Structure formats: structure tokens, C-alpha cells
Amino acid sequence: MDGGFLAGPERVKVNGGELRLLSAREVLEARREGDALARDGRERALCRNACLIARALERKGKPVFESGQAVLDGLRVEDIARLADAWAEFNRGCNPSPLDGAGEIERRKKAWSTRIMSAFSGACSGCSALCPPRSGRNG
């Protein structure tokens, strides 16, 4: 998945591997798979989280689990909840919401602009010295 110009890291390390960001389609597929696994409404959150983890958790670039059912068979409820919470926090950090409030959005915009500008600090200073800025009408 291409993170885009302003995106942060696409992966975060967790106990058991790395969690990667998912596309909207992948999240929808995880929800649908989770709904199919759940027998009633009380099971839906656990099943959806298991299916999310099946898509997001990787080791050395390969999925750790082949399906949500495999996650349910291989992990404890607490582990599924911990991984799902870690993924949600990671996703929120990389994809701010308008619901975060104006102050939070301004803070993130400032952090992004600072990060982008600091990436170029000094990169062109040698070239700029050869071509100093001109002032006046013709320059």
C-alpha cells in the first residue's frame, strides 16, 4: 500500500510481528468476514477484531494468520483485544479525523510541515551558494 505524501509509517512493531495499515477495502472485508463468523451480536466485535488482525499482523512481510478463524483458534481474547487496540491507535495516529478537533488538526499540520521542511534542510545549500538570490526588477 502506498502511504502517500503526508502519511506516516505504514507499519508498527508489536509483540508477535508488525501491524500494517489497511486500506478501506481491507477493513470492510474484515468486518464482513467477522460478521459471518459471529453467531450473535455479542460475538461480533471479537470476530471483527480477529479478522482485522488476520489482515494486519505480519512477520517478515507475510501474514501470521490466514484468516479470522485462525486468529480465533490461535490467540486468547486478551491478545486479540491488545492487537486490535494497538492497530486502532496506530491507524488514528496516521489518519487524523475531523472529530479530533481543530487544535489537534492544527498540531498535526504543523508537525507535518516541520517534518517535510526539515527533510530538505541543507540539501540544496551547496547549489544555492552557486546561484545566490537576485534582487531588483530584472533578477
pLDDT tens-digit readout, 48-72: 999 999 999 999 999 999 999 999 9
pLDDT tens-digit readout, 8-37: 578 899 988 999 999 999 999 999 999 999
Q: Is the pLDDT of residue 130 over 90?
A: no
Name the pTM for this structure.
Answer: 0.67
Residue type, 122: G
Q: Which of 60, 79, 95 is the last residue of a domain?
A: 95
Same domain, 42 and 108: no
Cα atoms in the Cβ-side hemisphere of radius 13 Å centred on 67: 8
The domain containing residue 68 runs over which residues?
A: 11-95
- Inside any domain, residue 1: no
Same domain, 80 and 106: no
Per-residue confidence (pLDDT) for residue 107, from 0 to 100: 74
Q: How many domains does the chain have?
A: 2
Same domain, 55 and 70: yes
The residue-averaged pLDDT of 120-130 equals: 55
Same domain, 74 and 126: no
- Inside any domain, residue 68: yes
Same domain, 91 and 117: no
The separation between the first and the last C-alpha atoms of the chain, rounded to the nearest angstrom, is: 44
Taking a C-beta distance cutoff of 8 angstroms, is the pair 87, 19 a contact? yes
- Inside any domain, residue 4: no
Same domain, 31 and 81: yes
Same domain, 25 and 68: yes
- Inside any domain, residue 32: yes
Same domain, 106 and 89: no
Of the candidates 23, 54, 16, which has an alpha carbon nearest to the alpha carbon of residue 36?
54
- Inside any domain, residue 86: yes
